[in-house]
Amino acid sequence: MPRPKRLLALAVAAPLLLAACSADDGGTGGTGGGSGGDLHVAVVTHGSAGDAFWDVVQNGAKAAGKDLGITVDYQSDGDPQRQAQLIDAAVNQEVDGIVVSMANPDALQDSVEAAVAAGIPVVTINSGGERSAEFGAIGHVGQDETIAGQGAGRQLARAGAENVLCVVHEAGNIGLEQRCSGASKGLGSEVNTLQVDVNDLQAAQSTITSQLQSDPGIDAVLTLNSAVAAVAVAAAEDAGSQAQIATFDLNEAVITGIQDGTITFAVDQQQYEQGYLPIVMLELYAENLNTVGGGQPVLTGPGIVDADNVDEIADLASAGTR
């Protein structure tokens, strides 16, 4: 990409950085950047295959690569050990930068620190922001999960919820635990947690149904994943429960649910930015040793999507950017 065009792309991206301060199949890679870009960046996430959330993250990374003339290879694996191996492989390929989500920081620590020791700048995204600087990353992009959880709890309290079930869909994901803990603080009372597996949504629906049947006092279900939100709606219907459903993250089903009233609201962390902004940050670092955030995370959320703004969001989601 000619230099003037690249500078123009950076100028366009800069306001996104300021605003932020306020998937291929699992295990497979895809080149999202322009051919022959000056930089080669590896994006390694913990997203599961077919997860709509991570598809939008990938869209953001690809778009940034195209805008800036950077080759972007996106890979994902929900198993932390295999994710660490993908990071190791990127280090062996001597990429110019790595973007990594850290749902399980302890499992990735050695690999991330090895990348930093090899002189490869790392930006963490989505999860593990509290360990990012410790591991040597130059920045973190995402939402503070505790703050986001508090926002969800306050929103549920305003909706009249008192007995909330918080559904955790990935065992060992520290960010999900922080969301439930934050929801308790925002609600003003302890939420109950329920473990399901996002890779088996039919079983997740059955588990939620059973919990609602065994505790008819549950008046709200907070899911932490858009795919789980859809089965929670079905589970409430199966159980004959009047519990309202709220969720983290968006997909088409969640947007439709908010529009038809079966879902009260969604907490939106604007994951497109979590794919796009780290590529910009690595470009700025490579060209000018710029860093962003001053040691603090660049926040992309939380935002609340409800009946008041869902129609506007729906138009953007259809383009794969929300």
CATH of the domain spanning 3-143+270-302: 3.40.50.2300
- Catalogue the E-assigned strands of 234-296: 244-248, 265-268
Q: How many Cα neighbours within 13 Å face the side chain of 88?
A: 11
**Percent composition of the chain: helix, strand, coil (DSSP 3-state, to 5):** 50, 15, 35
**The domains spanning 3-143+270-302 and 145-268 adopt the same CATH topology:** yes
Cα dist from 184 to 79, 261, 303, whole Å:
28, 24, 18
Of the two residues 6 and 188, the one the predictor is more confident about is 188
The topology (CATH level 3) of 145-268 is: Rossmann fold (3.40.50)
Q: Which residue has the higher pLDDT, 252 or 137?
A: 137
3-class secondary-structure state, position 27 = coil
Cα of first residue to Cα of last residue in the chain, in angstroms, is 27
pLDDT in tens, 154-192: 999 999 999 999 999 999 888 899 999 999 999 999 999
Residue 316: which pLDDT band, with cuts at 50, 70 and 90? confident
Give residue-wise pLDDT tens across range 53-96. 899 999 999 999 999 999 999 999 999 999 999 999 999 999 99
Domain spans, the chain: 3-143+270-302, 145-268
Residue 197, pLDDT score: 95
Dist. CA 165–CA 247, nearest whole Å: 11
Percent of the chain whose pLDDT exceeds 90? 80
Amino acid symbol at 147:
I
- In contact, 10 and 68? CB cutoff 8 Å: yes
The DSSP 8-state label assigned to residue 189 in this structure reads: S
pLDDT digits 0-9 by tens, 227-252: 999 999 999 999 999 999 999 999 89
Amino acid letter for position 83:
Q
